[in-house]
């Protein structure tokens, strides 16, 4: 019987791996199952190179629920649809390959974001940030009793407040002085260096973030005993029964864009590149997220034209459409970065259609803002290009472009994607701060630094997706060694990195 089953797959020109085969022969009616599976795959349009256990599992789920659960149904189906063991089973086509995408854009700032640039917007912007983060903080056990800063400043004893950081600096004696404010007033907080763990925690506090402070008032100073970030609770990890691919910083149009690696990547997604294991993963991919810097752009830095092979922004996006247009059967979600033809101030609206007409013609592409929140089959995915990483790497001791996983963790804990205002990350003075991390994502995807990183923090997959651009002159000066053509894939909940160089 074993040989019969193998022969069936061979005759159908289907390769089957050991675990998938084991799974089939464990079934009571294994010959029927094999026949049905072969018929089902043959009638679907999907190319299978190797049949894996997960494909069999998916199929069995459908098969068993359709044909074995209610016995009466099974009997009546037997009369009309089933046959004896050696004949072909007439089954309705499996939904295996046709499970509709459950894709939603949960948050996109493209249309909501507007400003007339007046100074009152600036105040409205910071007020929005403060109120959103304060609401999170005052739900935390230590801060439910928090008082307005003015009120807390007028009495001695225990202080329990929420404030936005105006300044944080080291004193001569190497303590830290932090100025915080709310809508009622300001307060000066001392973080004593003998309180080692608190002092260490304070090393990563930056200007314009919102935190809770518990301490005691001594004269005009408050001595901090606890510093509380908005933070996130550990989330329950869901079972992921598909794969999603994360890329960014393709930099099409640059002379350092690695076209061959990108073509290998596209061929892999289409099932035409890689070994069996890699092709198995490709078969499972439902989503491709692109976190910005799709093209290299024009006039992004001085003398950029010397490093461009395509010197026209429209043509850069035409080339992007040609390359991405080859990808079949995968939903693409595309956000902009600082090299795309968008306003630079964040939130950046989606790549404008008038610059990227051909790209917009791709039926499987969706354009979102930077940042944005989308749902991939129920997995909330926060997409952010990562411009603020430049500021955080510069400001916080121990953080660098090489450790974007640690930067992502800081941002999650601060519940803000770009906490520092007025440095390298231009932030639009909107009436609302769209960069507050209001919803806790399952996946946090970033780019910009051109170096892969991955860490799971409190159940959140934090992924930085490297680049398809080899080292540039600029990066040589800063000794940035990019991870080029090495693509992170969340394969049924496990991170795998596939190499295309």
β-pairing, 285-291 vs 331-335, is parallel
How many chain residues interact with Fe ion (CB under 5 A)? Answer: 2
Q: Print the binding letters for residues 261-300 with Zn ion: x by CB under 5 A, - otherwise.
A: --------------------------------x-------
Nearest to Zn ion of 23, 448 (CB atom): 448
Strand ranges (E), 62-220: 103-108, 157-170, 176-181, 186-191, 210-218
Rounded to a whole number of angstroms, the minimum distance from the CB of residue 102 to ligand D5M is 32
Q: Which residues contact 275 (CB under 8 A, 6 or more apart)?
A: none
From the list Fe ion, Zn ion, ligand D5M, none, partner contacted by residue 115 (C-beta under 5 to 8 A by kind):
none
Q: How far is CA 397 from the centre of its chain?
A: 25
| Crossing angle between the packed helical segments 2-11 and 30-43, to the nearest 10 degrees | 10
Residue 390 in the binding site for Fe ion (CB under 5 A): no
Nearest to 250 by CA among 480, 453, 472, 466: 466
Query: Which residues bind to ligand D5M, rule: CB under 6 A?
Result: 249, 293, 338-339, 390, 401, 424, 448-450, 475, 478, 480
Among 448, 451, 457, 472, binds Zn ion (CB under 5 A): 448
From the list Fe ion, ligand D5M, Zn ion, none, partner contacted by residue 401 (C-beta under 5 to 8 A by kind):
ligand D5M
How many beta carbons lie within 10 A of that of residue 346, not counting itself?
26
Residues paired with residue 189 on neighbouring β-strands, in sequence order: 178, 222
Nearest to ligand D5M of 163, 386 (CB atom): 386
Mapping DSSP onto H, E and C, the string for 359-425 reads: HHHCCCEEECCECEEEEECCEEEEEECCCHHHHHHHHCCCCCHHHHHHHHHHHHHHCECCCCCCCCC
Residue 430 in the binding site for Fe ion (CB under 5 A): no
Nearest to ligand D5M of 387, 414 (CB atom): 387
Question: Which residue is closest to Zn ion by CB?
Answer: 448
Nearest to ligand D5M of 286, 450 (CB atom): 450
Q: Which residues contact 262 (CB under 8 A, 6 or more apart)?
A: 250, 323, 468, 485, 500
Sheet with 331-335: strands ordered across: 365-367, 331-335, 285-291, 243-247, 486-491, 494-499
Residue 293 in the binding site for Fe ion (CB under 5 A): yes
CA end-to-end distance (rounded Å), the chain: 44
Q: How far is CA 111 from the centre of its chain?
A: 21
Residue 249 in the binding site for Fe ion (CB under 5 A): yes
Nearest to ligand D5M of 194, 306 (CB atom): 306
From the list Zn ion, Fe ion, ligand D5M, none, partner contacted by residue 424 (C-beta under 5 to 8 A by kind):
ligand D5M
Q: Which residues contact 136 (CB under 8 A, 6 or more apart)?
A: 230, 415
Rounded to a whole number of angstroms, the minimum distance from the CB of residue 497 to ligand D5M is 18
* Contacting range for Fe ion; rule: CB under 5 A; set: 139-147, 243-251, 280-288, 349-357: 243-251
From the list Zn ion, Fe ion, ligand D5M, none, partner contacted by residue 132 (C-beta under 5 to 8 A by kind):
none
Question: Contact 203/216 with Cβ under 8 angstroms?
Answer: no
From the list Fe ion, Zn ion, ligand D5M, none, partner contacted by residue 390 (C-beta under 5 to 8 A by kind):
ligand D5M
Nearest to Zn ion of 46, 424 (CB atom): 424
* Contacting range for Fe ion; rule: CB under 5 A; set: 63-71, 205-213, 289-297, 489-497: 289-297
Question: For binding to Fe ion (CB under 5 A), which residues are involved?
Answer: 249, 293
């Amino acid at each position: 019987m074993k040989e019969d089953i193998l022969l069936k797959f061979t005759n159908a020109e289907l390769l089957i791996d050991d675990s998938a085969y084991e799974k089939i022969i464990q079934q009571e009616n294994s010959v029927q199952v094999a026949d049905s599976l072969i018929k089902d795959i043959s009638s679907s349009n999907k190319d299978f190179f190797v049949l894996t256990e997960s494909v069999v599992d998916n199929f069995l789920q459908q098969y068993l629920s359709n044909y074995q659960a209610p016995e009466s149904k099974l009997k009546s189906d037997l009369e009309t649809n089933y046959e004896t063991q050696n004949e072909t089973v007439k089954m309705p086509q499996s939904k295996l390959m046709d499970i509709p995408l459950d894709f939603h854009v949960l948050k996109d700032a493209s249309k909501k974001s507007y400003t007339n640039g007046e100074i009152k917007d600036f105040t409205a912007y910071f007020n929005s940030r403060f109120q959103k983060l304060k609401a999170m903080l005052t739900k935390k056990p230590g801060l439910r009793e928090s008082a307005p800063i003015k009120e807390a400043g007028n009495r001695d004893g225990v202080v329990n407040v929420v404030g936005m950081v105006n300044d944080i600096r080291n004193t001569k004696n190497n303590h830290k002085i932090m100025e915080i404010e709310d809508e009622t007033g300001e307060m000066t907080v001392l973080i004593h260096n003998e309180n080692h763990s608190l002092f260490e925690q304070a090393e990563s506090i930056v200007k314009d973030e919102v935190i809770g402070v518990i301490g005691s008032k001594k004269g005009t100073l408050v001595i901090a005993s606890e510093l509380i970030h908005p933070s996130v609770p550990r989330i329950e990890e869901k079972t992921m029964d598909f794969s999603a691919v994360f890329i960014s910083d393709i930099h099409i149009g640059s002379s350092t864009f690695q076209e061959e690696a990108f073509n290998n990547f596209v061929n892999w997604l289409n099932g035409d590149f890689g070994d069996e294991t890699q092709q198995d993963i490709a078969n499972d991919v439902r989503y491709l997220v692109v976190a910005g810097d799709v093209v290299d752009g024009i006039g992004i830095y001085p003398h950029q034209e010397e490093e461009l092979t395509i010197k026209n922004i429209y043509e850069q996006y035409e080339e992007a459409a040609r390359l991405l247009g080859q990808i079949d059967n995968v939903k693409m979600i595309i956000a902009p970065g600082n090299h795309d033809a968008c306003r630079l101030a964040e939130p950046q609206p989606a790549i404008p259609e008038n610059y990227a007409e051909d790209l917009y013609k791709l039926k499987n592409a969706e354009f979102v803002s930077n940042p944005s929140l989308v749902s991939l089959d129920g997995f909330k995915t926060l997409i952010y290009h990562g411009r603020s990483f430049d500021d955080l790497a510069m400001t916080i001791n121990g953080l660098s472009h090489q450790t974007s996983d640690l930067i992502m963790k800081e941002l999650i804990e601060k519940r803000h994607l770009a906490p520092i205002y007025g440095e390298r990350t231009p932030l639009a003075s909107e009436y609302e701060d769209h960069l507050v991390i209001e919803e806790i994502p399952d996946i946090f995807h970033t780019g910009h630094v051109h170096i892969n990183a991955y860490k799971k923090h409190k159940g959140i997959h934090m992924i930085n997706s490297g680049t398809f651009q080899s080292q540039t002159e600029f990066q040589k000066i800063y000794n940035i060694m990019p991870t080029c053509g090495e693509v992170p894939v969340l394969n049924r909940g496990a991170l795998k990195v596939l190499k295309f160089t």
